[in-house]
Structure 1
Amino acid sequence: MRGARLSGVLVPAPENDIEFRSVTKSYGSVVAVSDIDLAVPKGAFVALLGPSGCGKTTCLRMIGGFEQPTAGEVLIAGAPMTGVPAYRRPVNMVFQHYALFPHFDVEANVAYGLKQMRPRLDAGEIRRRVGEALEMVRLGTYAKRRIHEMSGGQQQRVALARALVNKPSVLLLDEPLAALDKKLRTAMQIELQTLQRDLGITFVLVTHDQEEALSMSDLVCVMSAGRIRQIAPPQAVYDHPADLFVADFVGKTNRIAAVLEAGGALRLPDGRVIAGPPRAGLSGGPVTVALRPEAIRLSRGALSGAGAAGFEGIVTHRIFLGSAAEYSLAVPGLGHLLVTAERGGAGDAPLIEPGERVVLSFDPAAAHVFPT
């Protein structure tokens, strides 16, 4: 563990780069962030995920020093940041629209922050560090290029180089990929992941794009109405959502009303009872079953006879996605369900057409159950 030596005693470095301790932020009578605790480990890639107005950008701005908490405390590398202005914090920020200077070339944009440092750096040191930063984002030959001559992805990398050239402990990313098309956004997600691993510094990403959060981060912090609903690795958030909001917001989810009975059995709206594993923390009564579309198995035809396992439905809509197809089904007693079916390849069975009758089934253990 890294540390500092004070009066001959080695003081351990803090395990977390960022901490929120009972932080609240209000704007008059509007509470944007409400009494949250958050710990971001050193070197982590954390995504703050949630709908517009959930408080994620306010949290980012409090880390960056653009806002101060109404109550509670924000710490960076173990040091309280109360009253510390943005330019004195060991963080840098990449904004959604990059905020590049259009009248500067690439080199001048990246060098801008270095030229504001005190004591002043000599010109040779500035050129060296700018060159390193541009090489880091694979723009080493673009130093003299004008900003308006750069593509969207290249401008995003210029903004990254400018943020990284000061060697911050924490990099803040405020929806930096929102303005890019899907293909370029996917490429930049991979570049950001690679860059974060190579540098080993803490990245904090704000996004409302669940795919972006799940694919890039080590930890996903799901927020709603100024509170943290769940913070966990991406797979845990998707596979084991903490509540119905998380299940609904992260990924696609079917909701089915049911009654939880003894031993984990679920009584469905059509009166059918299906066995299931015991549900910790639930004592029985009305519940909502959250079922992922890919957890439902689908086949053509009708049930073969009385007592046959499964449910009958009618395909009402189909969306072809290339590697998969999404089907909307009308299922008596269960309502409308969304089912995702992966395709095996060019020789796979033909797609199911709207109007066809199908049989669907699912493993009760794959269902998430929440109190209604």
Structure 2
Amino acid sequence: MASASTNDIEFRSVTKNYGVVTAVTDINLTVPKGAFLALLGPSGCGKTTCLRMIGGFEQPSEGTVLIDGREMNGVPAYRRPVNMVFQHYALFPHFNVEQNVAYGLKQMRPKITPHEIDRRVAEALEMVRLGGFAKRHIHEMSGGQQQRVALARAIVNRPSVLLLDEPLAALDKKLRSAMQIELQTLQRELGITFVLVTHDQEEALSMADIVCVMSAGRIRQFGSPQEVYDRPADLFVADFVGKTNRIAAAMEADGTTLRLADGSSIASGKRLASGEVIAALRPEAIHLTRKAAPLGASFKGTVTHRIFLGSSAEYAVSVPGLGDFLITADRRSMNESDLVEPGEEVFLCFDPAAIHVFPASNA
């Protein structure tokens, strides 16, 4: 029965307490075999606690953790089909690359033959593109190479699940981007389940095929990166995953018309009960123009700041009665000029369907 499970990881009503502090509360989730899951959230949200309960470094106070259909409560870390890559790699500095990768294999019981150890180490190093580095000392490796040694050491035991505890946090931006691609490629080649813990929403969206957004020990949304970004479940998710503009409004009695603070109104694509609401609008959903668009909705405002980002630019625009808006625009999106200058009057044009509406109590 256990081997027939289609899920690698399951949490069933899992709660974890540390004395009087509750780190996670009533977590329920299932992770299919071969998925790349990102546990995403701010510091203290419970994501690392969940990772440690999968790895066996912590046990749930209530509920059940299962891996491949088998209950893991009480099973120590070394008896689980799981390996972990830590943020600071935890490599042995006095071992060379080959010795670091082989260490776990030499601890296995029953013992593996030296020939089999050599074969599997060489195979793991080839997978992470370090085939010619077996005899290299750890201090002679770059940060990206050390990370790949840690990956090779983790996959050489052929775990069912690989846990990644913010493994890219110590890398510079360019190397981090390169390693994101390498991790995706490696996960697809291996076909095993990856679980990544990160507070970096860009990292989660770009690498994972399932994103679990957490806050205050609870799951706020669980879905594909596109679902989480395009259809946030609540205002916390809309704010935390990507950037968003908040607009205070009131939903009128018809349940579909938003009345804004400046007295204007916008049709909402989401029906809500009448009352105070927050409308959320992504910066890239707004088109910056010098003339009002004939279709859709628009606000008139003044550019206060511009941040040049190379292929795009971010603008802060002050709209009377509504406050400040952030707009992300392609540099060539303006027909009259490449860039809009601070102090210029502009129109913020958008499709009302791009607005997400949440109850003000959700803020």
Deviations 1:103-154 (A, max 9, x none): 0000000000000001111111100100000000000100000000000100
Distance in 2 of aligned mates of 1:255 and 1:198: 42
Percent identity over paired residues: 75
Which of residues 63, 77, 93 in structure 1 aligns to 2:84?
Answer: 93
The offset of 1:348, in angstroms, is 8.1
TM-score, structure 2 normalization: 0.95
Distance in 2 of aligned mates of 1:128 and 1:13: 30
Which of residues 286, 294, 297 in structure 1 aligns to 2:287?
Answer: 297
The offset of 1:12, in angstroms, is 6.0
Q: CA RMSD in A?
A: 1.8
- DSSP-derived class of the 1:156 partner: helix
Q: How many residue pairs end up in the alignment?
A: 358
Amino acid at match of 1:270: D
Residue of structure 2 equivalent to 1:339: 327
The offset of 1:292, in angstroms, is 0.1
**Where does structure 1 differ by over 6 angstroms across 4 or more consecutive aligned residues?**
345-348
Per mean C-alpha deviation after superposition, the further-off stretch among 156-165 and 312-321 is 312-321
Cα pair distance change 1:12/1:119, threshold 3 Å: closer
Q: Is 2:234 the partner of 1:243?
A: yes
Distance in 2 of aligned mates of 1:33 and 1:249: 19
TM-score, structure 1 normalization: 0.93
Amino acid at match of 2:143: G
Matches of residues 31-46 of structure 1 in structure 2 within 5 Å? 31-46=22-37
- DSSP-derived class of the 1:38 partner: strand
Distance in 2 of aligned mates of 1:180 and 1:242: 32
The offset of 1:323, in angstroms, is 1.0
The offset of 1:217, in angstroms, is 0.5
Distance in 2 of aligned mates of 1:93 and 1:144: 23
The offset of 1:349, in angstroms, is 2.5
The offset of 1:310, in angstroms, is 2.4
Cα pair distance change 1:164/1:333, threshold 3 Å: same
Which of residues 199, 206, 213 in structure 2 aligns to 1:215?
Answer: 206
Residue of structure 2 equivalent to 1:367: 355
Matches of residues 163-202 of structure 1 in structure 2 within 5 Å? 163-202=154-193
Matches of residues 264-343 of structure 1 in structure 2 within 5 Å? 264-277=256-269, 279-280=270-271, 282-300=272-290, 310-343=298-331
- DSSP-derived class of the 1:258 partner: strand
Does the CA-based 8 Å contact 2:332-2:338 persist in structure 1?
Answer: no
Cα pair distance change 1:86/1:348, threshold 3 Å: farther
Does the CA-based 8 Å contact 2:288-2:334 persist in structure 1?
Answer: no
Distance in 2 of aligned mates of 1:161 and 1:44: 19
Residue of structure 1 equivalent to 2:223: 232
- DSSP-derived class of the 1:310 partner: strand
Which of residues 101, 108, 125 in structure 2 aligns to 1:110?
Answer: 101
The offset of 1:347, in angstroms, is 9.8
Residue of structure 1 equivalent to 2:18: 27
Per mean C-alpha deviation after superposition, the further-off stretch among 350-359 and 32-41 is 350-359
Cα pair distance change 1:214/1:258, threshold 3 Å: same
Q: Is 2:116 the partner of 1:128?
A: no
Distance in 1 of aligned mates of 2:333 and 2:180: 27
Residue of structure 2 equivalent to 1:8: none
Deviations 1:236-277 (A, max 9, x none): 000000000000000000000001121511101001112232
The offset of 1:205, in angstroms, is 0.3
